[in-house]
Amino acid sequence: MAFELPNLGYAYDALEPHIDARTMEIHHTKHHQGYTNNLNNAIAGTDLEGKPIEDILANLDMNNGAVRNNGGGFFNHSLFWTVMNPEDRGYLSGELKDAIETAYGSKDEFIAAFSKAAATRFGSGWAWLCVHKGGKVEICSTANQDNPLMPGVSCGGTPILGLDVWEHAYYLNYQNRRPDYINAFFSVVNWNEVERRYAEAK
Ligand code: MN3
């Protein structure tokens, strides 16, 4: 069973004005589709075929560039679409709110720290909020399509919130203004989904 491009669950224009429809459509149908196709090609006929993406990444040979880049790209975007929602965003609450306040003091301080990680990632990559076993949360960032599920990459743990800071994610609408795109992202974060992922992973 090959990996399939997941549906967004909302229309390409649903995140406007924060993230524009043209960017969303290209990002989903070209970039994410490309990672999906290339991942399938990279694992076809190998013992990785048929395994869950989380298992492939957790046991990854980091020298396998095709699976590292495309498996990461497949997983990262699949998570990214779900942590944004135009309508039912919810709000930071419950155990996740407690964990974030323990680690960062307040929601605003957390957003500032996450935004700094995203803004200062040089070149292409991602910012993450990860949860470790026991429930402690930690912010980190990764280069290219790496993610903290991969062996020895960044803060480790399970990513529950991710922000794509590749230029393809924002350049049409924001050009070089990555900080404006990061601010806009926090207007569409789906806290219900982040909390669901926290509860599942902690
Ligand atoms: Mn991307």
- Tell me, in angstroms, the distance from the centre of ligand 1 to residue 127's CA: 12
31 Cα to the center of ligand 1, angstroms:
6
- Look at residue 1 and tell me whether its pLDDT is greater than 80: no
From the CA of 59, how far away is ligand 1's center (Å)? 23
Please check whether residue 129 is in contact with residue 138, taking contact to mean a CB–CB distance below 8 angstroms.
yes
Q: How far is the CA of 121 from the centre of ligand 1 (A)?
A: 14
Residue 103: pLDDT over 90: yes
Which helix (H) or strand (E) is 71 found in, with range? Answer: helix 65-82
Inter-CA distances, 172 with 20, 21, 40, 166, Å? 8, 10, 29, 12
The alpha carbon of 98 and the centre of ligand 1 are apart by a number of angstroms equal to 30
Where do the structural domains in the chain lie, given as residue ranges? Answer: 19-202
> 19-202 domain in CATH 3.10.450.50?
no
pTM above 0.75, yes or no: yes
Mean pLDDT of the chain: 97
Contacts of 176 by beta carbon, 8 Å cutoff, 6+ apart: none
Please identify which residue in the block is written with the tokens 């957003």: 111
Angstrom distance (rounded) from CA 28 to CA 99: 32
Query: What is the reported pLDDT for 45?
Result: 96
- From the centroid of its chain, how far is CA 47? 26
Contacts of 48 by beta carbon, 8 Å cutoff, 6+ apart: 56, 67
CA of 32 to the centre of ligand 1 (A): 7
Could you read off the pLDDT of 22-60 as tens digits, one per residue? 999 999 999 999 999 999 999 999 999 999 999 999 999
Q: How far apart are the CA of 136 and the centre of ligand 1, in A?
A: 27
Whole-number Å distance, alpha carbon 65 to ligand 1 midpoint, is 17
Ligand 1 centre from 152 Cα, in Å?
22
132-185: pLDDT as tens digits: 999 999 999 999 999 999 999 999 999 999 999 999 999 999 999 999 999 999
